[in-house]
A and B are shown apart, each in its own frame.
Chain A
Amino acid sequence: MRLSFIVVENTEIDIYIATELIRRMIGEADIETFLTADAALNYIMLDKAPKADRHIIMLDLMLPRMNGSSFITLFEELPDEIKDNYQIVIVTSSMNKAELERLSMRRNVEMIIEKPLTRDKFKSFLTQINVDVN
């Protein structure tokens, strides 16, 4: 199964951790990283992602300019044939329980991972969406 990841994070260390975990647990996968949510949204909108069986968006919430929740709102306005290809996992250090609760109800949001993003947490996410782990 071919997996394609879109990582939206604005600090080097978080990008590094996400890509490193994908590399270690899945091996072969397409990874595209974005520092801002609007750039990621643009990429998705123009349908630029490579062909894959599953598309997963790893999304930080606290981003400059457009934050994670606005991203989700705009993402939901995309046509079904695009957005149904994607599964979103929110990866955040936010402590705003009410906001996280609301976001977990959104249709395309599979899971919310509270940072730090560790091997264990990433593994349980992959298991939940039925992806085999190395």
Chain B
Amino acid sequence: MSDKLKILYIDDEADNLTGFKATFRTEYRILLAENTTQAIEHLEKNPDIRVVFCDQRMPGKTGVEFFEEIRTVFPLPIRILITAYADIEAVISAINRGNIFRYIRKPWIEQDITSAIEEGNKFYLANSMLQIKNQELQLAYTELDKFAYSVSHDLRGPLTGILGAIDIAREMNDMSEIKELLMLMEKSVFKLEDYISSMHDYYSSRRGELKIVDIDFNQVAEELKDVYGIYTSTNKIQFDITVDQPEPFRSDELVIKMILNNMVTNAIKYQKKNFQGKSIDLRISIYDAMATIVISDTGIGIPESHFHEIFNLFSRATSHRAGSGIGLYNVKGALIKLGGNIEVSSVVGEGTVFKLTIPSK
């Protein structure tokens, strides 16, 4: 179908309908209805109808009554009343009850209708834009609420833990007890540190503009090995990276690194405890201007029922591991920005495989 604006016209006189369609069919996509039942069918099937014209005098229901009825169910289309009678009462109730955009006198002239459609469409667009902005605002508020919760849980929680530990430490004389406490305090500090850096990622990935450069994944892989190599080998995790990049790839390097860092940290974080043969396998291949990144781990796995929510802000699939609930949310956000995608498959107790696809820019 063409991208002409959809206009619905309701009139009980067939001649008027035919005339309307004949006049405007080249410029708009015209839908016709002889009664309000047909009109509602059209509205149901075509949620993208922009403007609805309705005759005031019809058997059974007046135009005003019809508009009053549809304005809550189909609030978006612009409502315009057409009538042959210069009836001031009808005009008043059309405005007050039917909330109409314009009022057109019958017999109409082409120019009146065209200008009503054009003006109505502008109003429709502004209105829809407002709705979208409202939804975005709502989302931002929801995130702020979650953030407020997270401030007391993820920032204040570890801090109060450290304070409590300091209070107990004052009474301790045994060095080994103090050392144990220090180790717990260190964990809390790491948690705070991890949280702050993911908050930083969160804001820079959301607000920042993309800086597109050539990316050499072999070099990125070397850096990952440098950063995580020591940790994985001391914790007996086999960490393999294979890169197959026969062609150039362009994207934002910082964002790509942020994504990979998060994926690798997660794979490390959620390894099974006391398991021999822990491994992380990262495969990156670039073909047809598309990077495919597959990261598999032998971790604790994610129940299928949690798949849909692991990319949400502050969601934690597991209860007792150190997670801020921001990592995968950042990854998902960054992928959306790069036009990429992420899929997950997992078996609880066996491990998880994430498959990411990112197009070259």
Contacts and interface: CB of A to CB of B under 8 A. Distances in A.
Given A64-B316, A64-B319, A94-B152, A119 B184 contact: no
Contacts of A24: 168, 171
B184 A35 contact: no
Interface stretch (B65-73, B106-114, B157-165, B270-278): B157-165
Kindly name the residue among B156, B160, B185 whose own CB sees the greatest number of chain A CB atoms within 10 A.
B160
A17 B320 contact: no
A24 B185 CA distance: 20
B319 A65 contact: yes
Nearest to A118: B167
A65 B303 CA distance: 14
Nearest to B181: A16
Interface string B162-186: 1111011001000000001100110
Contacts of A65: 319
18 contacts: A10-B319, A10-B320, A13-B158, A13-B161, A13-B164, A21-B168, A24-B168, A35-B319, A36-B319, A36-B320, A62-B153, A64-B319, A93-B152, A93-B159, A115-B157, A116-B162, A116-B163, A119-B168
A119 B185 contact: no
Interface string A1-45: 000000000111110110011001000000000011000000000
Given A35-B320, A62-B157, A13 B162 contact: yes
A131 interface: no
Given A17-B165, A63-B319, A115-B161, 19 more contacts: A13-B158, A13-B161, A13-B164, A14-B164, A16-B181, A21-B168, A24-B168, A35-B319, A62-B149, A62-B153, A94-B153, A95-B152, A95-B156, A115-B157, A116-B160, A116-B162, A117-B160, A117-B164, A118-B167
A93 B319 contact: no
B319 A17 contact: no
A95 B164 CA distance: 17
A16 B165 contact: yes
A11 B168 contact: no
B153 to A, nearest CB: 4
- What secondary structure prevails in chain B residues at the interface with A? helix
Interface in B185-201: 185, 187-188
Given A62-B153, A95-B152, A115 B319 contact: no
A12 to B, nearest CB: 6
Interface in A59-86: 62-65
B164 A115 contact: yes
Interface residues of A, number: 25
A11 B297 CA distance: 25
Contacts of B164: 13-14, 17, 115-118
B167 to A, nearest CB: 4
B161 A116 contact: yes
A89 to B, nearest CB: 14
B156 A13 contact: no
A96 interface: yes
Contacts of A115: 156-157, 160-161, 163-164
B160 A93 contact: yes
A95 B157 CA distance: 11
B167 A116 contact: yes
Contacts of B163: 115-116, 118
A75 B136 CA distance: 39
A93 B171 contact: no
Which 8 pairs show the lowest CB-CB distances between chains A and B? A115-B160, A116-B163, A13-B161, A116-B164, A116-B160, A118-B167, A13-B184, A93-B156
Interface string A95-134: 1100000000000000000011111000000000000000
Contacts of A62: 149, 152-153, 157
A96 B188 CA distance: 22
B185 to A, nearest CB: 7
